[in-house]
Every structure is written in structure tokens, then in C-alpha cells.
Amino acid sequence: MLKFSKGFTIFYAMIHTIHIFAVFIYGGFLFVDNLFLSKMTQTLNEDEHKKAREAIMMHVRKVVPYALLVAVASGLYMITQIFGEIGEDGMSSFQIMLSIKAFLASWLGIRGFNQKFFGINPWVFTSHVFPFSLVIIIILLSQFMYIIN
């Protein structure tokens, strides 16, 4: 178990709480988009679907990209606090899973940053299925990295 000074523990806990809320917002949107919004075409015609989706997305674009950036930034800060030193035998399973998680999250962050601030749309993964899959993998890694140590 990591031991910090009292003030640092509170600060880390605040960053961790902010991180969790940001992940809930970003991951929650991907969950709703992939499992529910994508199914609107089954009950709405093309024009209705386009209008309904845009009505939702105009609000999503104001919040979700920033939630992603907060999640990535807070996650990168937390990594600096918990990664630890690499032992003589190499990285521990915790450090390996944390590194994989950081790489996947950083990729999502770079993708989101480019979309939000430069208008660069991803040329390969245009749907939200791939980012949703990465979020699921990241969540699983975040649970397993403490168990398999």
C-alpha cells in the first residue's frame, strides 16, 4: 500500500475523484452512443435520425471532449505518483498494465484533442466503437492491475 503525507493523500484523492467523474462522463457517452443512439435508425427515418442525433451531439460536444482531456491529464498525474521505481528484474505486472493503460488512454486523449481543437477527424476509426472498446480495456486493466501484482 502506498503511504503519503496527510496533505498529499487528500490532494491525490481529489485528483482521483475528478478523474473518476471525467471517465464516467466520457465512458458513459460512449456507452450510450454505442448501445442506444446507434439503434435510433431502427425506429426513426434517416432525416429524423439525423436531426435527433445532432440535437444530442450539439450538447455532447460541449462537455465530453473536455471530460476526456481531464481524464487523461488527471490519469497522467496519478501515474507519476503510483508508478514507482522499476526493479532490477524489470517492470512489475502492475507497472506493465499501468503502462498499457496509459498508452491507450493517451491515444484517446491525442485523438480527442485533435478532434476538438484542430478539427482533425480520425481517418481510420470514425465511429465510437473503437474508443468504447479501449475504454472497456482500460477499465478492466485498472481493476486487474491491483489484483495481479
Structure confidence by residue, pLDDT tens digits, 110-141: 988 988 888 887 666 667 888 999 999 999 99
125 within some domain = yes
Give the whole-angstrom CA distance, residue 125 versus residue 94: 29
35 within some domain = yes
62 within some domain = yes
Task: Report the predicted TM-score, pTM, of the whole model to 2 decimal places.
Answer: 0.84
Domain hosting residue 94, numbered range: 6-147
Give the whole-angstrom CA distance, residue 88 versus residue 82: 18
1 within some domain = no
Give the whole-angstrom CA distance, residue 20 versus residue 44: 34
Give the whole-angstrom CA distance, residue 127 versus residue 46: 17
How many of the other CB atoms lie within 10 Å of CB of 8? 12
Nearest to 29 by CA among 4, 66, 3, 1: 66
Per-residue pLDDT of the chain (149 residues; tens, 9 = 90+): 555 555 567 888 999 999 999 999 999 999 999 999 888 889 999 999 899 989 999 999 999 999 999 999 999 999 998 888 999 999 999 999 999 999 999 999 998 898 888 888 766 666 788 899 999 999 999 999 888 86
Count of domains observed in the chain: 1
Q: Are 113 and 69 in contact (CB under 8 A)?
A: yes
Distances (CA, A) of 29 to 2, 43, 93, 122, 126: 32, 21, 30, 18, 16
